Amino acid sequence: MNNSIKDKILASIDVVEIVGEHVSLTRKGREFVGLCPFHDDHRPSLSVSPQKQIFKCWSCGAGGDVIKFVQLSQRVDFKEALAILAKRAGIEPNNRPRDDQAAAMREQISRSLAWARTHFQRNLQQTPGGRQAAEYARGRGISDAMIERFALGFAADDWDDLLSHARRAGLDENVLGQAGLITTNENNKTYDRFRNRLIFPINDAMGRCVAFGGRTLGDDQAKYLNSPETALFSKSRVLYGLDLARKAITTSREAVVVEGYTDAVLLSQAGVQNVVATLGTALTDMHAKTLVRLADRIAMCFDGDEAGLRAADRAVETALRHRVEVVVVVMDDGQDPADFVMGRGVEAFKSILQSATGALEFRWCRTEEAFRSSGQRGQRDAVEAFLRFVAQVTLAGGLNDPIDHGQLVNRLAELLTISAGDVVALLVKNKAALSRESSGTIPEIAEMSIYDEAVRDIPPGMVSAAEELFGFALSSSEHFAVMEEALSAGAQQCDPWRRLDEILEELVEHRGQYTKADVIDHCNDAGLCELVDRAIRRIGASVVTAELCQAAAGRLLAELDLLRMKSLRGDLSGGDCGRGPCDKETFDALCEVARHRHDLLGAEPHWKASR
């Protein structure tokens, strides 16, 4: 795989998610369907394929990959779409591309993690220690079904259980180290990182294992231990349980965020399936971005102790920057969400989620509390922090309800015993300071769409001629015979053209005719879909006649002649005689092509008019 930003985006952003934000999608077999946003659609014509990562509309022909979708839906060009998506995926546009070696290492790490997940699971099921670990999990209230669903495992109480099995499986020690599975002490002795622990595999959104978390089963001081940050794992990106919760989140448009894996597992077991957990870190911008794509409301649950409240403060700030409804649930002191749901049931839990405090309200109460309980200095700090917070949130577009805003101003005025006008002035000042700080620009991106890359080296005149011809060919099979020769001649220039031509030829051969929808049905990758989209756009609402088709075919053939002439001229001037033609055969060929081209253009009545 290539390492361009485009490839990273295509690898990390799901087209179904992005399309799902604009269109209500329903599953139909292996694909999703919905009303096409690009034409006036009354019965679902848009299909989105999670396997092929493309979208296409059988009716208007819009289609391509996720980047193309953003281009069309947000009316931006390719580079802007790339920048929008890179920002969402947390990809730095100016990242230096990783080399192939690093990519190969990631692949190996991924394989060793998948192997380790199976190894831990097998330990849990088949060893005496594992059976005790499972017993412990059950003691915590985790059912066998959840042990299975979350693929819980057991790391043996041994220094080299994983290491020795891995060696026997032929895995490379260096890779195991890079995967965070083994570690080396100061005496250069290598041993298993996870020992005597109940293992929670941590997966990415696609369900691929990227790390592990382990709860000690002995008296290890570290109650919970996670994999270190690796090439595949960053705790500021990964949300535990997202692979399993994703569907429930997109269906309910709400995500419940808890702080630990046991909470996530137990809530899921109780029937709160839209639950994810952060991994020993406050909610980050990256987490928020992931969730905002899937949900309209984020409910964050925190333990009811001081640490929990502080975590809530930070999480609220982050979440509110992302234009999403954020509510905060703080459990009673000493309780975590799992205790609550096991003690009082899922309905009680859902009802506290429903009546949870809005994030802004929560942040306000915390400020007010700090204000009332501190001296002058502390009061000033609390208010300044709050003003800055409000400025940040508004700048990010997160607080655009005028009623909320008005209330906020009034409350601040009351608390500070100043006028509402002064509060507004303070807010404006904070906002101005912040926007000065954050006025960065998006770096230039020198990349092209998959289709543009395919046609990069083809003369622009030929690209437009070919696309136009494909446009006519797509609109109806009636005049296919007129265009066939030119299409198959042009098709050799690049892969998407060749494949679209093959699809047309095959349909004609087998059925004698085709409709646009038939052709689109056969297009199964982004390059092809984009070609179809371009071709259809290029001819617009033209009424397709045999003459128009013939003219377009002539233009493409003439462009091909021009290319051939250029290459023959190159051959001639490359000869060693220095001046004039020295190769008779080449010269004759050149004349022949030139004549052919002249005939084509001469026979073409609409040459100037239709350009």
Min separation Cβ 453 and Zn ion, Å: 25
CB of 525 to Zn ion, least distance (A): 19
Q: List residues bridging with 557 in a β-sheet.
A: none
Smallest gap from residue 62 Cβ to Zn ion (A): 5
Q: Report d(CA 358, CA 383) in Å as an integer.
A: 19
Crossing angle, helix 337-344 and helix 346-354, to 10 degrees? Answer: 120
Q: Closest distance between Zn ion and the C-beta of residue 67, in Å? A: 18
Residue 200 parent element (H or E): strand 197-203
Farthest CA pair distance, the chain: 98
Which of helix, strand or coil describes residue 298? strand
CA angle at residue 259 from 253 to 263, to 5 degrees?
80
* Angular region, 235: left φ>0, alpha ψ -120 to 50, beta rest: alpha
* Tokens 């001629």, located at residue: 465
Q: Which is nearer to Zn ion, 72 or 552 (CB)?
A: 72
Joined together, the tokens standing for residue 362 give: 């929560």
Complex with Zn ion: residue 33 or 448, whichever CB lies closer: 33
| Contact call for residues 70 and 47 (beta carbons, < 8 A) | no
Binding site for Zn ion (CB under 5 A): 36, 38-39, 57, 59-60, 62
62 vs 600 by CB, closer to Zn ion:
62
Please give the single-letter amino acid code of residue 604. E
Looking at the Cβ atoms of 35 and 458, the one nearer to Zn ion is 35
CB of 55 to Zn ion, least distance (A): 10
Using alpha carbons, select from 261, 264, 262 the residue that is nearest to residue 245: 264
Torsion region of 212: left, alpha or beta (phi above 0 gives left; psi -120 to 50 gives alpha): beta
Structure tokens given for 138: 């059950």
Give the phi and the psi of residue 92 in degrees, each rounded to 5.
-75, 120
CB–CB of 175/162 below 8 Å?
no
Q: Please identify, using beta-carbon distances, which residue of 60 and 266 lies nearer to Zn ion.
A: 60
Q: Which lies closer to Zn ion via its Cβ, residue 39 or residue 289?
A: 39
- Residues 50, 69: Cα–Cα separation, whole Å: 14
Amino acid at 97: P
Please report which helix (H) or strand (E) contains residue 257, including its range: strand 254-258
Residue corresponding to tokens 């294992």: 209
Q: Calculate the CA dihedral of residues 524, 289, 259, 192 and round it to 10 degrees.
A: 60
Tokens coding 44: 């679902």
* Residue 232 CA to its chain's centroid (Å): 16
Least distance in Å: CB of 22 to Zn ion?
A: 12
Question: Amino acid identity, residue 513?
Answer: Q
| Cβ-based neighbours of 309, under 8 Å, separated by 6 or more | 302, 330, 366
Cα–Cα distances (Å) from 121 to 150, 260, 264, 387, in that order, read 10, 20, 19, 50
Distance set, CA 100 to CA 9, 89, 95 (Å) = 18, 21, 15
Structure token pair of residue 283: 């909610």
- Whole-number Å distance between alpha carbons of 214 and 230: 16
Judging by beta carbons within 10 Å of its beta carbon (0-12, 13-18, 19+), is residue 609 exposed, middle or buried?
exposed
Helix (H) or strand (E) holding 64: strand 63-64
Q: Is 183 exposed, middle or buried (0-12, 13-18, 19+ CB in 10 A)?
A: middle
* Phi, psi for residue 63 in degrees, rounded to 5: -175, 165
Q: Whose CA is closest to 320, among 397, 431, 428, 257? A: 397
Which residue lies nearer to Zn ion by CB, 57 or 232? 57
Residue 221, classed as helix, strand or coil, is coil
Smaller CB separation from Zn ion, 60 or 465: 60
